Copies of this chain bind each other. A is one copy, B any other.
Amino acid sequence: MGTTTSPPSRSPQRETVDGRSARERLLASANELFYAEGVQTVGIDRIIEHAGVAKGSLYNLFGSKEGLVRAYLASRHDATAERILAAVERHRSPRKRLLAVFEAQGLLFAEPGFRGCAFVAASAEAPTGGLIEHAAGEYRTWMRALFTDLAAQAGASDPRKLARQLQVVYDGAGLAAGMDGDPSIAHPARAAAEALLDASLEKSGGGTPDRAIPR
């Protein structure tokens, strides 16, 4: 077993017994509880109890519950973007890169505890014009830009239109998987994305460009 535990001792006393700072534990608890039960439903007390952190520390670190919610949504955005980009980068063919987004989504559906898109849930009961709406807007803009890029590279005749359609399918699949508790919706969703891509290609010319891109 271990010799000396050799504490890393990064910046003064930022870590406790389990090696995670109060900030990290708060963010982890927010991720867990906010996602599982809702941003409005879960109160500060539940968060700090779950994180083993004092209430004063939360307000020192995040300023308010709203600040914690912002950090929670930002971490969700980053994690999702990272996962999707990793799936896309695993392929070379533009067609496969586009469809990889939906395959990554399907894997997500199958994970235990999946309840749908965090931004959808948080936005549903959020006041209009607040930071939740803003964070959701940024996330959706990022997703649409990604789809537009992939659609253009896959040779769509109207990449913006195809991107909007793909986002509709992506959103609808996530919503259905969450509300119906049905991860298998990923398959018809992926098939729908493929059909829409094909329809978009047919319009442009005649052939079926795929491995066209040499580099």
B-contacting residues of A (Cβ < 8 Å)? Answer: 37-41, 116, 119-127, 136-137, 140, 161, 164-165, 167-173, 175-176, 179-180, 185, 188-189, 191-192, 195-196, 198-199
Q: Is the CB of B179 within 8 A of A192?
A: no
> Contact between A161 and B175 (Cβ–Cβ < 8 Å)?
no
Could you say which of A116, A123, A164, A189 has the most chain B C-beta atoms within 10 Å of its C-beta? A164
Do B165 and A171 have beta carbons less than 8 Å apart? no
B172 near A173 with CB under 8 A, answer yes
Q: Which residues of B contact A39 (CB under 8 A)?
A: 125
A125 neighbours in B (Cβ, 8 Å): 37-41, 121, 124-125
- The residue that A123 contacts in the complex, of B40, B171, B179, B199, with Cβ under 8 A, is B179
Nearest B-chain residue to A141, judged by Cβ: B180
Is there an interface contact between A195 and B189, defined as CB atoms closer than 8 Å? no
Q: Is the CB of B180 within 8 A of A140?
A: yes
Given A123-B179, A125-B121, A179-B140, answer yes or no on A168-B195 (Cβ-Cβ < 8 Å): no
Residue numbers in B under 8 Å from A171 (CB-CB): 171-172, 175-176
Q: A41-B40, A124-B124, A125-B38 are in contact. Are A165 and B179 (CB under 8 A)?
A: no
Complexed CA–CA distance, A8 and B174 (Å)? 50
* Contacting residues, chain B, for A199 (C-beta < 8 A): 195, 198-199
